[in-house]
């Protein structure tokens, strides 16, 4: 009971509501935007690659720009340095930007649809970065010790589970063109709820100003009597110098590399969970499309990672973050070996694999690396004999290098696997072919005739090849990411011991 009471905190609750609002929106965005732009707006796959590459360029500028603006108050916007005001003012606008994706500009002109996606991604991600940067700042500025930060993370994980439950109606409603308005209505409701919660949180939060020793640009505050121009020039020059210095540190490189592979894996599962499930389980009759059971399956896949994270927090404190991450990756590779041995025709094994893979890839993909990033901040401060930790710059740089993984994941899945199997051209024809086989029907569906190019009906071999590449994408890509993450974590463990041997006690995980 005492441990339960220690988790109660109104401030942590308000900060958790920000995470909850963002999770509601992001769940729908990450799981639906590719499917909607392909199935509803008929975006050609080649245009998606161009959009994602252009978006990579914007991400290279977006994250550090928003981070430095919140620390330095650039562009004459003083309010942007106040975390509470960012949530209060920009939070509802961020929620509104989510709606840009779900109202088509065109469903027949490819370049117009691609422009729609590009503009929506630019606006949405800019506001997402602004609001979540403020959220991260609030987590740090309102948390004075390890227990407080754990409390905030626990609230975030609990709200993540709740957010997954609340989007259940989206998984059970019909996914056909004539019912698309239902999906749009749900998105409007989600945006309104998220905007209201962020406004409430921003209005009621009581933010204490951080003390000087936690401000990474403290030494420039001593020269406030100098001209504003000179202060701004020195600040930016120092920020660039420190950024370059941190970027070369081995532990920072290991942190970025390990989380990069984890984000690749997380985003692949997030973007293609519905695609994999419908192609490998629904078409084979394991689930009925738009059924309650299928909706519960999606909720379980998205929620079990957060539940697993809550159970693993005590082992993390005891054995260390890196040890838990490595254990999860070993379990992941074993899961891959089992499903490859069972084969794609064993739909029960595929269903179990999807649940376990989503649990492992979603477990601590942010929480674990917040702890590791804290170690990197401590290491940087000790090695460079800094007067204060440069936590904001380190988190901003980490986001700069990790954010491209969000866009690379769907591009890699499409290029390396799915397009070789005929996705998305064969999706509807093969689904109808399987349905006809299950019902012993020989009548050709009109949809099949319209969506196939030569004979109007795909061969069994084409659909088998389609399913084969879908299965390989499901199993092989997570294995590649798990191995890549493990390599960087192993190097980080080596450097952690190396630094600890040179500087003494570094701190517990």
Q: What is the DSSP string of 360-412?
A: HHHTTTTHHHHHHHHHHHHHHHHHTT-SS--HHHHHHHHHHHHTHHHHHHHHH
Dihedral sign, CA of 264, 265, 266, 272?
positive
Render pLDDT for 210-243 as a digit per residue (tens, 0 to 9). Answer: 444 444 444 444 444 444 444 444 556 666 777 7
CATH architecture of structural domain 248-504: Up-down Bundle (1.20)
Q: Which residues of the chain have pLDDT under 70?
A: 1-8, 67-68, 70-77, 140-150, 167-169, 171-177, 207-239, 387-392, 429, 431-457, 499-509
- Kindly state the tokens that stand for 300: 């379980």
CATH architecture of structural domain 1-204: Up-down Bundle (1.20)
Q: Which residue intervals of the chain bear CATH 1.20.1250.20? A: 248-504
* pLDDT of res. 144: 55
- Nearest to 49, CA basis, from 123, 110, 125, 124: 110
312 near 359, Cβ under 8 Å?
A: no
- Nearest to 263, CA basis, from 370, 337, 366: 366
225 near 219, Cβ under 8 Å?
A: no
- Nearest to 361, CA basis, from 335, 398, 341, 340: 335
433 near 448, Cβ under 8 Å?
A: yes
Question: Three-state SS for 137?
Answer: helix
Alpha-carbon Rg for the chain in angstroms:
24
The pTM (predicted TM-score) of the whole model is: 0.71
* pLDDT of res. 293: 87
């Amino acid at each position: 009971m005492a441990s339960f009471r220690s988790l109660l905190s109104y401030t942590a609750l308000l900060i958790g509501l920000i995470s909850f609002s963002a999770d509601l929106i992001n769940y729908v965005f990450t799981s639906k935007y590719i499917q909607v732009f392909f199935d509803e707006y008929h975006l050609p796959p080649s245009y998606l690659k161009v959009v994602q590459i252009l978006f990579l360029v914007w991400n290279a500028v977006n994250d550090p720009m928003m981070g430095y603006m919140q620390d330095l108050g650039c562009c004459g916007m003083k309010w942007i340095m106040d975390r509470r005001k960012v949530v209060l003012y920009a939070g509802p606008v961020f929620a509104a930007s989510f709606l840009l994706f779900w109202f088509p500009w065109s469903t027949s002109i490819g370049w117009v649809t691609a422009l729609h996606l590009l503009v929506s991604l630019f606006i949405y991600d800019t506001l997402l970065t602004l609001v979540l940067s403020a959220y991260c700042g609030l987590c740090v500025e309102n948390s004075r010790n390890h227990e407080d930060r754990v409390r905030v993370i626990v609230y975030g994980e609990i709200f993540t589970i709740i957010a997954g439950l609340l989007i259940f109606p989206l998984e059970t409603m019909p996914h056909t063109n004539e019912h698309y308005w239902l999906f749009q209505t749900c998105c409007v409701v989600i945006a309104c709820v998220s905007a209201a919660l962020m406004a409430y949180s921003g209005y009621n939060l009581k933010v204490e100003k951080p003390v000087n020793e936690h401000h990474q640009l403290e030494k420039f505050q001593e020269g406030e009597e100098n001209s504003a121009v000179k202060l701004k020039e020195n600040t930016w020059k120092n920020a660039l110098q420190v950024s370059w210095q941190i970027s070369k540190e081995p532990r920072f490189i290991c942190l970025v590399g390990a989380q990069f592979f984890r984000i690749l894996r997380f985003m692949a599962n997030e973007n293609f969970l519905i695609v994999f499930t419908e192609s490998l389980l629904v078409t084979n009759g394991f689930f009925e499309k738009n059924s309650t059971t299928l909706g519960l399956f999606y909720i379980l896949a998205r929620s079990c990672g957060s539940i697993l994270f809550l159970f693993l927090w005590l082992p993390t404190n005891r054995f260390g973050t890196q040890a838990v991450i490595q254990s999860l990756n070993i379990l992941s590779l074993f899961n891959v070996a089992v499903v490859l041995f069972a084969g794609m025709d064993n739909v029960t094994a595929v269903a179990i694999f999807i649940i376990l893979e989503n649990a492992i890839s979603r477990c601590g993909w942010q929480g674990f690396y917040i702890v590791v990033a804290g170690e990197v901040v401590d290491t940087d401060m000790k090695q460079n004999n800094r007067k204060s930790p440069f936590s904001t710059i380190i988190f901003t740089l980490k986001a700069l290098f990790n954010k491209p993984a969000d866009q690379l994941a769907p591009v890699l899945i499409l290029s390396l696997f799915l397009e070789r199997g005929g996705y998305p051209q064969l999706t509807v024809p093969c689904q109808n072919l399987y349905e006809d086989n299950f019902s012993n029907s020989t009548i050709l569906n009109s949809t099949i005739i319209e969506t196939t190019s030569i004979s109007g009906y795909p061969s069994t071999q084409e659909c088998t090849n389609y399913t084969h590449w879908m299965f390989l994408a499901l199993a092989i890509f997570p294995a590649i990411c798990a191995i890549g993450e493990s390599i960087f974590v192993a190097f980080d463990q080596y450097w952690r011991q190396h630094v600890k041997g040179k500087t003494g006690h570094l701190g517990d995980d």
